[in-house]
Chain A
Amino acid sequence: MPSETTTVMENGLSDEQELEHGRRRALAAKHRFMWGLVVPSLLVLLVFEIYPVILAAWTSLHKVTIYDPGRPFVGLQNYIRLFTDSHFFNTVLPNTFIFTIAGLAVETVLGISVAMLLNRRFRSESIVTTLLLFPMMVAPSIAAILFAWMFNSQFGIVDVALEAIGLPAISWLSGRWTAMFVIVISDVWLWTPWFTILLLAALKVQPPSPVEAAKIDGANAWQVFWHVTLPYLSPVLTICMLIRTFDLFRQFDQTWVITTGGPARSTEFFSIYAYKEVFEYTNYGSGNAAALMGALVMLIFGLIMYRTFARLTGGTKKAT
């Protein structure tokens, strides 16, 4: 923008109109540049994310079959089918919410605890951090294999250990809740370190004076944590929890590998359900309807949390 302003000055035309003209051109150039920056990303999103979602919406309103190329419009029939499917309503939806809430709760609490534990200087600090970093780099599908193997009901090390200390072995993957537990554990293993590392980074730069002041006032360690440290961590914690919620809710990989939704479809989440509806039962309409319902839940949740997210990450900036 200033380049045009200089030209105006060099020409000796300090006329107000000319200046205004130059400013507008500069503004236009800035806008062109802003568009140029986002156009590639925007195109990618339009073609590979937004258009498919529209396509999913279309499919969910039509009767799509392999044998009938007509694909007649059926209105909300697929949705009615979905919501009258007791399996979807009584198992799939609760599973998705239970998994999201359980995973989020455990990861948050454990993440904070480990971060507090590591928040001091010690000799093997960097080794411990590396060890913590590693699970995040592991493919969820491979983590799932790990946990499926460790919790294998015949040869898994967990049952071996249980028997060694005199407890009965559990066939983990043949019960709904024990299988859910294994899926949650695998997610906790993968993602707790993420909380820990981000929280730890914040703790390392925490100003010491409020903590010291609280201690001088006679606060015990728990009170200091609850009234000083936790409020200090809350912005980064909120963002972590929000992003984890999106990702826990859509989680597919681990469930697919560990149980494939079994036993007897009792650990299906909405993403597994949608996948199976389409690829195993060829119900394209209701599969897409289920996937869209999941997206809708997250969209509503996301919109409710948008102000918080935008405030904490600098989302809204007024033009200057």
Chain B
Amino acid sequence: MKKLFHTLRKHRVAYLFLLPTLLGMLVLQILPLAQGLYLGFLRSRKDKLLDYLAAPWAGLENYRNVLLNPDSPIRSGLWDALRNTIQYTIAVTIGTLIVGLLAALLVNREFRGRSVARTLMLFPWIVPTYVVGLLWGFMWQKEVGFVNIVLVDWLHLLNFKPTWLIGPNTIWAIIIPTVWRQWPFSMLMLLAGLQNIPRDVYEAAHIDGASPWQSFRHITWPLLRPVWAILLLHGLIFNVYSFNIVIMMFGNGAGFPGKNGDLLMTNIFRNSFQMWDFGSGAAMSSLLMLGMVTVIFVWYRAFKDSLSAR
């Protein structure tokens, strides 16, 4: 006890500086997190809102419903949402990296209007995500949407106007806008990484007769590894927890995005706040968090070396 006081006294400035943050985190992050985990084991109903923590103990019932009970309405939608989320996250993360890398390589040269080009490239990244959902929801419309106007009326690439927001095309209707919104961020980071690579490395490779592809393959890509590792992590977290774009694109937010457009976050949100099934919602959130912790752990094992090497 005395030792604790001593420590507190000795570092009082540091603790004082951190105190408000710690309090905020405790009350609004740790406490809710604990409650959320606990809620997953309760049979929570709408009429039990006032005493939500006194709801009857349900054991693993919610988890069983979510994972194993084939009759549970939550479950059928959940697998669709899970499949879509995985597909969406992988496609968006990789797509963002590829486009961002290409753009970064293009901008990392001397040419007129370079800074203008870089600034203009950042534009989509400033557009709020709910606007992205709204805007692309309008652009994907079958008859009046800009995408179909360009594809069919202007370029004549197709001779019919495809439906984007219903059916299997839906997944692309959410992937493409997300890539559009996010690649400038990747570009920015990768560009900063590219500028950190010393020029003479390339010159040496050039003298040794390396082709542009070889110097990319053996110099640029490995040296950029710390940057794209971080971007990969950022993309994984950000896209698994993606919510705004999908919710704004389909049926004014309250609607169901459809079997091919539903993501985990929209699914859980619907279950929690529209069906008021907090127990299942919490159980699903806990499972989602568990899954993310696993993913992040795998990521950490894979990229530990390049992170510590920095």
A and B are partners in one complex rather than unrelated chains: no
Name B residues whose Cβ lies closer than 8 Å to a Cβ of A: none
